[in-house]
Amino acid sequence: MARISLFAHPHVVRERMHQGDWRLEIARDRFSGALACRLQSRDGRAIYRSGAVGFRFDGRRRVTDAVYRIDGGDAHAARDDLPRLIQLGTPIDHGSMIDPTDGVVWVPYDQVAQAHTIAIEPRRGGDVRVFRFGGLVALHDVAVTRGCAPESRFVDK
């Protein structure tokens, strides 16, 4: 399947929308009909890909021991999600040999779809960062309605 970039090109029509803390960009090549979709938080620190949401931390920070809490619930080790993320085809290994996550903590979408916030501690005893989900589900639904399925149509660049 041909992929297109979300960057400006004379043959690419772009559609942008936002809701709450999230924004959606859809790019369609007028000639080939190829489609690319990017669903990410407004600050660019979180992105949807392959059935999961990735939360970006400083690339130099190792997040292999990350722990998160959804809406103040019980702590959950991110590594426990690895089997499900692999099943979903989530791009969890795009970093180096030392840190394959490249500073991104991935959480399956179905775990956060109805959540309001997620608090992530990327390293035991480290600072906790809170991410908000307002608008994520609505924009994901819009994306799917407008052709951003299968999951391979969601890109990060």
| pLDDT per position as a tens digit, 89-103 | 888 876 655 556 678
Would you say 144 and 28 are in contact if contact means Cβ atoms under 8 Å apart?
no
pLDDT computed for residue 8 by the predictor: 57
pLDDT computed for residue 3 by the predictor: 43
* Whole-number Å distance between alpha carbons of 126 and 147: 40
| pLDDT per position as a tens digit, 30-46 | 888 889 999 999 999 99
pLDDT of 146 strictly over 70: yes
DSSP 119: E
pTM higher than 0.75, yes or no? Answer: yes
Strand order through the sheet with 12-19: 12-19, 22-29, 35-41, 46-49, 52-56, 104-108
CATH architecture label of 12-153 = Sandwich (2.60)
User: Which has more confidence, 5 or 111?
Assistant: 111
What is the chain's mean pLDDT, rounded? 87
Q: Where are the domains of the chain?
A: 12-153
